[in-house]
Amino acid sequence: MQHRKPFDLQWLLIAYNAAQVLSSLALCIQPLFLGGVGLLFSISCNDAPVVDTDLQLTIWKGTWWYLVLKLVELLDTVFFVLRKKQNQVSFLHVYHHTIMAVFTWGYLKYLP
């Protein structure tokens, strides 16, 4: 790979980034339409209110989609390598993307 030219991924990256932005925006806006933010979280130290099971299922699905997005974001590193942008593949970059995926999986596995 050392003597090969870097891949030209400009259009793939534009499509990838647009899909990531739209997917993340959809995940951020969804709770506003459900009205679930006020039902799930309380400002005071009282117990959390009882939540509708349909709302819980929707939140569960949203969390799974979040995990899928975190796994897809691991492609960032692959794109850097294919474009021979090794200076952008730092320890912090790899650590961040790995930890986000692992912690999201752990949340889905052990917390709810």
pLDDT for 78 equals 92
Residues with Cβ < 8 Å from 112, sequence gap 6 or more?
60, 63
Residue 46 above 60 pLDDT? no
pLDDT for 70 equals 94
| Residue 49 · residue 38 · CB < 8 Å | no
Position 20 confidence tier, pLDDT thresholds 50, 70, 90: very high
| Residue 92 · residue 58 · CB < 8 Å | no
Position 29 confidence tier, pLDDT thresholds 50, 70, 90: confident
Over residues 93-105, mean pLDDT: 93
Rounded CA-CA distance 25/17 in Å is 12
pLDDT for 55 equals 73
pLDDT for 33 equals 74
pLDDT for 45 equals 61
Rounded CA-CA distance 26/110 in Å is 25
Residue 58 above 90 pLDDT? no
Over residues 6-14, mean pLDDT: 93
Active site residues: 96
